[in-house]
Amino acid sequence: MPIDLYSHSRTGLALSRLGFGGAPLGNLNRRLDDTEAVAAVTAAIESGITLLDTSPLYGQGLSAARIGTALRRTARDRVVLSTKVGRLLSPPRRTGGPAGSGRASYVDALPFTPRFDYSYDGAMRSLEQSLLLLGTDHVDIALIHDVDGWTHGAEALDGRFAEAMDGAYRALEQLRAEGVVKAIGVGLNEADTAARFARAGDLDAVLLAGRYSLLEQGALDDFLPLAAEKGIAVLMGGVFNSGILATGAVEGATYNYRPAPPEILERTARIEAVCRAHGVPLAVAAGRFPLGHPAVASVVLGMVSPGEVARNVAAVDTPVPPALWGDLVAEGLLRPDAPVPG
């Protein structure tokens, strides 16, 4: 069955409700086989996934290079390509500032060092680097990456926010006006910072990672209503909270890139028990849940093989009984005001 599309009225982009997240293609935490990684992208496109998301951070350009290889094997107009600005890649000997790799760990990445640069010129250069890595003459969505306390620390956030709005945002706004990109926005890890950007600028899209899931619905308080009001397409990443909502409450489960604490393990086990009672895998419910909100255009999942693509496509098409959501609410495991998929 074809993957449903979300037609974004502001930009005319047709976004598949399941998006392809490119972070794992940068050898996130483990080395991937090149052939299989490229085959995963090709399988995603052939399955009807239109949204492909990457960043210079992911493997210091390795993710973008692998996606670019797959793009050369298909028509460019079949995909909506999203990348990010805010980091520049340099050979280590030429690095002029602090590295900007954040929390992620990439194995056997390309031999470049990322450094933060949210200036106007830095955004222009970053996008040019991405075009070269991707082997294309344009991207559809350009997002300012990781301007949040999660990445920089709360004490540095105001300065980074001002730098991004005065620099990278102006650059992307100009590129949108010139038709070089169709949509601009931010990609980050905090719902309150996403709302701050949405109020400060004219955004088309926001990629929000990990902040709207079966374990966290705080984005309902401010950001998601604001996105719906402004017509911002929300691309929801991190819907498994870095692992636990995919694996369940098993030994070694991770939550927000750290070992899951006891209270999260207990809550996840209770959520999984409700899902099991309805015959629905936890990962299926976790992947489907964000799509119930009218502002959420796509759930962006990392995929590293054709088999994983096939499983995720099948999961998106798996029906979830309405009673499951009702039982989660009744058990105090889901906010009553959270919209759920029909």
CB 270 within 8 A of CB 215: no
Residue 93 has a pLDDT of 62
- Which one, of 3, 1, 16, lies nearest residue 235 by Cα? 16
The CA distances from residue 223 to 84, 106, 153, 216, in Å, are 21, 31, 20, 13
Residue 102 has a pLDDT of 46
Q: Which residues of the chain have pLDDT under 70?
A: 1-2, 93-104
pTM as predicted: 0.94
Instruction: Catalogue the E-assigned strands of the chain.
Output: 5-7, 14-16, 18-21, 51-53, 80-85, 87-90, 113-116, 141-145, 183-188, 205-209, 233-237, 254-255, 258-259, 296-302
Residue 2 has a pLDDT of 56
Active site residues: 53, 58, 84
How many whole angstroms separate alpha carbon 267 and alpha carbon 24? 27
How many whole angstroms separate alpha carbon 75 and alpha carbon 33? 24
CATH superfamily for domain 5-242+282-318: NADP-dependent oxidoreductase domain (3.20.20.100)
Could you tell me the residue ranges of all domains in the chain?
5-242+282-318
pLDDT tens across 55-84, in order?
999 999 999 999 999 999 999 999 999 999
155: CB partners within 8 A, 6+ apart:
none
